Amino acid sequence: YKQPGEKALPVRATDFAYDTPDPAAGGLRTADMQDMFSGLLDRFSFELLGRREMYVPYNAWRLLAPDLTPEEVFWSAHPNPTLTRYELHRVWVVEATLKRGLRHAFPRRVYYLDEDSWQILMAEHYGPDGELARYAEVHPIVHPQVPVLLPAREMTYDLTSGRYLAVGLDGSEKPPGFDRPLKPEDFTPEALVPKRR
């Protein structure tokens, strides 16, 4: 609720959760698949399956090259494989299983978390039939200034339709300014509203 004269802040709908289809993703992912996993943990039981070494997406700077066109990066069924990079890393494997009596479009999931950063790098989403239906991976970059691992591109693949979704940073965008000094007014509600040009 806002008073006349107050600025309205964008508010996310309260029912956008769990397996609600993400309206911006053409049905390729659910609300809780954003950023590899978003939302409440209450519908799943989580089990740590252990640690293993795997080739995982990492140091994806080439995917962000500003000299590349979208057509060079994004092919019809997957990104251009000459631009992706995979490295051998230790990951923790976590299985999420839907709790009894609850429903979800993907009742079983397996997550692969980078041991160094705890970023979920890959996720498998299994349908009610037990078959792998969606696969997602983050192509991260290490920002040397901080240092911090940032999820640069997130890819979600629908294995039944052959479609995929790519979201994340764009090579033409300026990198985040981690060294910018912050002022108290940067933390006000007005700072959340984009500046008009």
Q: What is the mean pLDDT of residues 57-77?
A: 91
User: Which H helix or E strand runs over 86?
Assistant: strand 86-98
Q: How large is the average pLDDT for residues 152-166?
A: 95
Tokens of 104: 């979800």
**129 vs 105: CA distance, rounded Å:** 10
pTM of the shown model: 0.83
**Amino acid identity for residue 84 in this structure:** T
Band of the pLDDT at 2, cuts 50, 70, 90? very low
